Every structure is written in structure tokens, then in C-alpha cells.
Amino acid sequence: MTNLILHHYPMSPFSEKIRAMLGYAGLQWQSCITREMPPRPLLERLAGGYRKIPVAQIGADIFCDSRIIAAEIAQLSHKPALAVENLDAVQQAYISKVDHDLFFPCLFAAGTLTLNLKVLKAMSLLDVGRFLYDRINMGRKAKVQAVNPLQAKQQVRMHLADLEQRLTQDFLFGQTPTHADFSTYHTLWFIHELAESPLLQGHPRVLSWMARMKAFGHGTAQQIVAAHALQAARVQPRAIAAEYSQDAMIGQTVSIAPADYGCKPTTGVLVAVMPTRWVIARQDTELGTLHVHFPRQGYTLT
């Protein structure tokens, strides 16, 4: 069993990206289920203000964003192609496109009665109301252009036609999957598996690739509760290599927030500046020092 804890909820596409990666990596992990919307007191304590899901944790190190989590899984499983920074510029650009430009079109295009029924089964009516209120508010405050729901299906159809052409091998960029496959998978999982929408029909290569991706499963997960995750955080964070603590900003109090939507900042003392990530230290009266890791791309530091 690795000591990697994933904080997630079942219907979250970006969480599915990580769960599928954990399956491919063949890792044993610990699963801590969180609510579909704030308040999430445990994560507020561990990650500060960061409000997106998934979040991962190894002891007192907290990893925000699926990119950073993927880099940790790449290290743990010795599968370097799971980390975005190990891929070439073409794959990196493709990942940005599917993770950012196509995420909302896929969510909007997935509306089916089945999805609505699953949501109603998973949440109380009161929570559905809270969820909608939260997401409308998040959308209003977002710094990215809203998706036109009428154009969403067309965008997804174009995406599927493009994928059908691309999939000449078992995976998008070769015979083994890379981060790009998992980035592409999670939004289509939302449409095909969760919403059970017929949108993917008529795309035989996409459907076979989806089946290959699904076959990775989720690895072996042990369910844990909040108290266990808090207990796991009562250790010293990992040491930071000297080469990452040379930047002139080190030691300053900074706030880091996503640049697109859900832009809630986390504040702490900057302790590492790496080529692709920032790490800030936060103090919790009971847990001690926590190190919170963020990607540099797509986040702002003030």
C-alpha cells in the first residue's frame, strides 16, 4: 500500500483521470471521499483555500491539481509518461486543449436523463440545490469564457471526429498510454460512462480506446475517513532540495490561485520554486507544517 491519499468524489471527471492513472500504474492507494461542493473542512485545513478536486496527499505534502498528482504517480510507479513535463511540446499542447478547452463543452454536452437520475441518487435534493448554486456562482466568477451550451455538442462532435482519425495505434501517441490519454479519457468518461450518452456511437476506434482505458480499472483503493487523513498529515513534510530554494522570492508570504475558475487562493510561505511547480508552507496548530504543491502553469502567484 502506498501512502498516497486521494481526496475526490465519484462523479468528478478530473478525479476519474487520476483514478484511471492509478489503475494503469497498478498502485494501491487510500481513498478519502469528499463532498461535491464546499464546505470541505478537511481540505480547507490541508490545502488552505484551494477548492478544486482532486487533491492528493502523502503525509504532510498536499498536491493540488491533477498535473501535480500525475507527476507524483509517475514517480511512484516509474512511468515517466504520466507526468506532463516529461512529454514533448505537441503532447503538452494537446493536454492543455483537452483538459481546459474541452472540459466544459463535454460537461455541457453530457446532459441526459440518466445523468440527472444518477445525480439525484447520489445527492439529497437540498445538496443538488447547493451544488447548482455553487457551480453557478463559480461560473459567474470564472476568468475563462463561458461555454455556449448550444455549441457544446458541436465542439464535442468535432473533438470525437478528430480523435477517431488520431487513434491509429492503441493509444493516442503510441502503443502505451501517456498523460494525454488520461486527459482525453476523463471528460469522455463523463459523457459515455456516467451520463450514458450515445454521443460516442459511430466512433469505433474511440469506443475501443475507451474500453482499453476503462480496463485499467482504478488500482486497489482502501477507503479512509477524514480523521485518518489528518493523522497521516502529522509528520514532517518532505525535504526540499537545495536547488529549489534559491529563488529571490523564497521565504516570502504568497498566495497561489488557479487562473481560470474556482480561483480561491491558498496563502503560505514560498519554500520551493521548481521548473514546473511551486511549494508553499502553511502552519496548522495541531498538524504542524504542511507543504502545498501547485503547478506553475495555469496558476497565479501574488
Ligand X SMILES: N[C@@H](CCC(=O)N[C@@H](CS)C(=O)NCC(=O)O)C(=O)O
Q: Which residues bind ligand X (CB under 6 A)?
A: 12-14, 37, 51-53, 65-67, 262
Q: Which amino acid is at 103?
A: F
* Nearer to ligand X (CB atom), residue 19 or residue 67: 67
Question: What whole-number distance in Å separates Cα of residue 239 and Cα of residue 203?
Answer: 48
Shortest distance (Å) from residue 8 CB to ligand X? 9
**Toward ligand X, which CB reaches closer, 122 or 161?**
122
Which cell numbers hold the place of 97?
A: 486543449
- Whose Cβ is closer to ligand X: residue 68's or residue 274's? 68
Q: Are 250 and 197 in contact (CB under 8 A)?
A: no
CB of 127 to ligand X, least distance (A): 13
CB of 168 to ligand X, least distance (A): 27
Shortest Cβ 96–ligand X spacing (Å): 10
Q: At what angle do helices 13-25 and 179-189 cross, to 10 degrees?
A: 130
63 closest CA partner among 23, 146, 116, 5: 5
SS3 1: coil
Distance, in Å, from the CA atom of 299 to the CA atom of 270, rounded to the nearest integer, reads 14
Strands 253-258 and 4-8: unpaired
Given a contact cutoff of 8 angstroms between Cβ atoms, the answer to whether 119 and 132 are in contact is: no
Which lies closer to ligand X via its Cβ, residue 30 or residue 183?
A: 183
How far apart are CB 133 and ligand X at their closest, in Å?
12
Q: Which is nearer to ligand X, 21 or 232 (CB)?
A: 21
Q: Which is nearer to ligand X, 51 or 293 (CB)?
A: 51
* Nearest distance, CB of residue 69 and ligand X, angstroms: 7
Q: How far is the CB of 13 from ligand X (least distance, A)?
A: 5
| Closest among 16, 13, 14, 9 to 219, alpha carbons compared | 16
Nearest residue to 67 (alpha-carbon basis) of 180, 159, 174, 219: 180
Nearer to ligand X, 67 or 293 (CB): 67
Q: Which residues pair with 273 in a beta bridge?
A: 278
Which residue type, as a one-letter code, is found at position 94?
A: Y
